[in-house]
């Protein structure tokens, strides 16, 4: 199984962090919030700017969760369509070549799901097997690659497309002054990415998926996720995430690699989800990575923020296009998310 290509799409509305901070400051100052604290939290996440689903002035018109979700449904189709078409073009394929469409998100809900709506917009073949997946959060980019590889392992002559759409700005709770929500308001951005995964009977020059592993950590539901109420999605983000990374990730990566007769020193490229500065630093420490091993991930965080499940796919796209490892070398794709859980994908370039 090979990842033939990755294509991404970002909404056209980009704002630097100072502009976003000014808008949030205007909103929260009216409620006598500690603005200095807000600014410190935003600067600490090291994000330079983010793309938003809507022009910034339109967010004041979102009065209910229904308003936000309607916007999510509309924009998700726009960026999702673009990401899929770009990925297929890079792979030298057309919509008629698609056999399976996996859709992952954690920032909105729709029935029919976005993948169903894109069946019509893209004129995908009616035979396409659709697999919408909700709730995996940041881990879903890596997990989606693994599930797409599982599919083409069973059907080696077929093509699976993974689509991730995350419009995090539409989940912002403007009445929530908790520290997790203030951090989220400075960290998360919007975007979409699609990956084309093909079976062994099809030719592709992208990385081969050798194996994958899912790891679930029992009784960790409160580490990360959403509290869902009539106001929408309220962020759950424990300050203990970096400690979970330090405690478990090195052990789990070592066990996974050992099953293949490998060790960390055999891995030449690391394709990681950019959880945030503290999480990335914890990953570097837990895995004892050499300087620069996560540069592509750090650059993604600085340029567009954390895009939940979309981010690791964009890091993969950048790695494939601009930082391609030596042919035959090994790589590891990894992400962590609600559950709490990890997903590891072993690659050969």
* Structural domains present in the chain: 2-198 (3.40.47.10), 208-348 (3.40.47.10)
Give the distance from CA 326 to its chain's centroid.
25
pLDDT at position 147 over 80: yes
Q: What pLDDT band is residue 53 in, cutting at 50, 70 and 90?
A: very high
Q: What pLDDT band is residue 240 in, cutting at 50, 70 and 90?
A: confident
> pLDDT tens digits, residue range 275-320?
999 999 999 999 999 999 999 999 999 999 999 999 999 999 999 9
> pLDDT tens digits, residue range 80-126?
999 999 999 999 999 999 999 999 999 999 999 999 999 999 999 99
> pLDDT tens digits, residue range 6-33?
999 999 999 999 999 888 888 777 665 6
> pLDDT tens digits, residue range 191-202?
999 999 999 999
Report cis status (omega within 30 of 0) of the bond before 112: yes
Upper half-sphere CA count for residue 136 (Cβ side, 13 Å): 25
- CA–CA gap between residue 273 and residue 48 (Å, rounded): 17
pLDDT at position 167 over 80: yes
Active site amino acids = 138
**What is residue 26's predicted lDDT score, i.e. its pLDDT?**
80
94 or 241, greater pLDDT: 94
pLDDT at position 245 over 60: yes
As a whole number, mean pLDDT of residues 239-258 equals 93
Q: What pLDDT band is residue 185 in, cutting at 50, 70 and 90?
A: confident
**What is residue 38's predicted lDDT score, i.e. its pLDDT?**
80
User: What is the percentage of the chain residues whose pLDDT exceeds 90?
Assistant: 80
Report cis status (omega within 30 of 0) of the bond before 290: no
**What is residue 108's predicted lDDT score, i.e. its pLDDT?**
97
- CA–CA gap between residue 326 and residue 269 (Å, rounded): 10
- CA–CA gap between residue 97 and residue 217 (Å, rounded): 38
Mean pLDDT of all residues in the chain?
94
Residues 6+ apart with CB under 8 A from 176: 234, 235
Q: What pLDDT band is residue 34 in, cutting at 50, 70 and 90?
A: low
Q: Which range, of 157-166, 226-235, 321-330, averages the lowest pLDDT?
A: 226-235
Alpha helices in 224-336 (DSSP H): 241-258, 277-287, 295-304, 309-322
**What is residue 32's predicted lDDT score, i.e. its pLDDT?**
54
């Amino acid at each position: 199984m090979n990842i033939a290509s990755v294509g991404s799409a970002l909404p056209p509305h980009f704002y630097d962090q100072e502009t976003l901070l000014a808008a949030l400051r205007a909103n929260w100052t009216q409620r006598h919030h500690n603005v200095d604290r807000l600014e410190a939290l935003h600067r600490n996440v090291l994000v330079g700017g983010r793309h938003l689903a809507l022009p910034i002035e339109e967010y004041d018109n979102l009065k209910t969760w229904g308003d936000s979700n309607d916007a999510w449904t509309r924009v998700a189709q726009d960026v999702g369509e673009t990401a899929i078409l770009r990925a297929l073009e890079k792979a030298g394929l057309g919509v008629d070549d698609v056999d399976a469409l996996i859709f992952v998100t954690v920032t909105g809900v729709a029935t029919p799901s976005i993948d169903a709506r894109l069946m019509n917009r893209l004129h995908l073949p009616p035979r396409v097997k659709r697999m919408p997946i909700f709730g995996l959060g940041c881990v879903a980019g890596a997990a989606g690659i693994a599930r797409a590889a599982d599919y083409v392992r069973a059907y080696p002559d077929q093509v699976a497309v993974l689509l991730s759409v995350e419009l995090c700005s539409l989940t912002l709770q403007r009445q929530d002054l908790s520290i997790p929500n203030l951090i989220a308001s400075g960290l998360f951005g919007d975007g979409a990415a699609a990956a084309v995964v093909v079976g062994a009977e099809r030719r592709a020059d992208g990385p081969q998926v050798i194996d994958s592993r899912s790891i679930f950590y029992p009784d960790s539901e409160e580490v990360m996720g959403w509290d869902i109420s009539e106001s929408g999605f309220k962020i759950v983000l424990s300050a203990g995430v970096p400690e979970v990374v330090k405690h478990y990730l090195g052990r789990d990566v070592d066990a996974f690699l050992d099953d293949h007769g490998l060790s960390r020193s055999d891995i030449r490229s690391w394709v990681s989800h950019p959880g945030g500065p503290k999480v990335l630093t914890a990953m570097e420490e837990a895995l004892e990575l050499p300087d620069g091993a996560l540069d592509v991930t750090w650059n993604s965080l600085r340029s567009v923020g954390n895009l939940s499940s979309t981010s690791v796919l964009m890091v993969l796209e950048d790695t494939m296009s601009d930082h391609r490892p030596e042919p035959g070398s090994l790589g590891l794709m990894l992400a962590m998310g609600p559950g709490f859980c990890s997903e590891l994908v072993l690659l050969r370039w």
